[in-house]
Amino acid sequence: MKALIISADHFEDTELLFPFYRLQEEGWEVDIASIAKGKINGKHGYEVSVNRALRDINPNEYDALILPGGKAPATLRKERAAIEIAQDFFRRNKLVAAICHGPQILVTADVLTGRRATCYRSVAEELKESGALYEDSEVVVDGNLVTSRQPSDLPAFMREVVSQLGKASQ
């Protein structure tokens, strides 16, 4: 099984690193994609290796898409490749897990109409405007979509991500 994390500079460090380590713990392969290969740096200074450029991603290679928060999603929502990757995962009903500001990418991708979801509180208004049914909960699961609000939700977020991936692989 293989997951794709999409991020950029100023990511929220634990929201990228916790899923990155957690899925490896499960034995998954995890690629990190950004605007270019190389390195990206989190808000707290963690440096992460980017092994794939967004424009080179073939979504068919992956079973799950993870969208961490921080300021990275504000950058990524302007990247056509990032938006098209997110849309492809929704079209194929494959797991998309977004936390904090991560759902901003899904707002731009216009895939949230009628979907139950959550996000960081400052993102809630644009989530609702995009047609999502916003809930203020530590984790919301609606079909292929798993969303959470903030770093302290990471235990619930990854509990559901791992649970959903277990069901998908059966």
Which residues are tagged catalytic? Answer: 101
Least distance in Å: CB of 42 to a copy of itself? 8
Residue 71 in the binding site for a copy of itself (CB under 8 A): no
Q: How far is the CB of 37 from a copy of itself (least distance, A)?
A: 19
Checking DSSP bridges between strand 145-148 and strand 140-142, what pairing results, if any?
antiparallel
Rounded Cα–Cα distance for residues 68 and 100 (Å): 7
Residue 36 to residue 49: CA distance in whole angstroms:
11
Q: Which residues contact 114 (CB under 8 A, 6 or more apart)?
A: 131, 132, 133
Question: Which lies closer to a copy of itself via its Cβ, residue 13 or residue 79?
Answer: 13
Binding a copy of itself (rule: CB under 8 A), the pick from 25, 61, 125, 129 is 25
Residues 150-169, mask of contacts with a copy of itself (x by CB under 8 A): ----xxx-xx--x-------
Which tokens is 55 given? 């424009």
CA distance 141 to 148: 9
Contact pick of 14, 104, 118, 164 for a copy of itself (by CB under 8 A): 14
CB of 141 to a copy of itself, least distance (A): 15
Q: How many CB atoms lie within 10 A of CB 63?
A: 16
Residue 109, classified by CB atoms within 10 Å of its CB into exposed (0-12), middle (13-18) or buried (19+), is: buried
Binding mask 124-153 for a copy of itself (x = CB under 8 A): ------------------------------
The residues of the shown chain that bind a copy of itself, judged by CB under 8 A, are 13-14, 17-18, 21-22, 24-25, 44-46, 154-156, 158-159, 162
